[in-house]
Amino acid sequence: MPPLTTERLTFGRRFVRRGLLILVRLLYRVEYLGLDHVPAQGPLILVANHTHLVDVLAIHCRVRPWISWVGKQELFRIPLLGRVLRWLGGIPVNRDKPDLATARGIMQALAQNGIVGMFPQGTRVPDAMIPYVRPRSGAAHFAKRLKVPLLPVAVSGRFRLLGRIRIIYGEPFHLQELPEYAEHAMSINDLAEAVMRRIYALDGKEYTLLEAADDDESGN
């Protein structure tokens, strides 16, 4: 795919977003709440729960700033899809062992006042599995290291034809604002769990991990 000028890239992404919005509106009945909480630009890390392949499109298509999503590297290895994802600003990650290339991609996007989108749980999680899936620490790590705010987004509903979906954008916050942050014994993993509690609270849900939660953080 040939290099694009900033103007052509902006136009192309605007066209893509418009197309996604039309598609989402045709397939689902989506209620958006809290759109006024989304700033015009970053640096910012958007963090959301992940329920379906389509939720990334539904989150993305209604906000004005472009979001560079972090996604599993397997998708980027698919010849045509991988090129498209990179053109759209996607950042590949090895979920088992994140590397320096991923870190550089995230930091570069944030340094350019961009918004990076991440699913801390690293996989799709239905409601019944919420207490059993531990979040990964990546989003909390970068938010703490780079001192950038997090934008929590909660997704709920059933992604079936004409199904009702609700997407709630919360107010951006810094990790330092979390009550848990003042507890010096809190690890980065504990802070990651606190971030997930903030996300699920937007939709009135509790997030309390059970002892049987998967410590290996396996996903698909």
Q: Going residue by residue through the chain, which has 220 residues, state the pLDDT in tens, using 9 for 90 and above.
A: 444 445 555 777 788 888 889 999 999 999 999 999 999 998 999 999 999 888 988 999 898 888 999 988 788 888 887 788 887 788 988 877 777 888 999 999 999 999 999 999 988 999 999 999 999 999 999 999 999 999 999 999 988 888 899 999 999 999 988 877 766 667 889 999 999 999 999 999 999 998 656 554 444 4
pLDDT of residue 12: 75
pLDDT of residue 92: 87
pTM of the model: 0.86
pLDDT of residue 183: 63
Q: Determine how many CB atoms are found less than 10 A away from the CB of residue 75.
A: 13
Give dist(CA 195, CA 148) in Å, integer. Answer: 14
- Residue 161, C-beta contacts closer than 8 angstroms, at least 6 positions apart: 27, 28
Contact 59, 48 (CB under 8 A): yes
Q: Which helix (H) or strand (E) holds 155?
A: strand 150-157
What is the per-residue DSSP string for 131-144?
A: GGBPPPSHHHHHHH
Token pair belonging to 206: 């509790």
Contact 118, 59 (CB under 8 A): no
**How does DSSP classify residue 112?**
T
pLDDT of residue 7: 57
pLDDT of residue 220: 40
Could you tell me which of 164, 186, 212 has the C-alpha nearest to residue 31? Answer: 164
CATH number of 6-201: 3.40.1130.10
pLDDT of residue 216: 45
Token pair belonging to 118: 């991440």
Q: Determine how many CB atoms are found less than 10 A away from the CB of residue 192.
A: 22
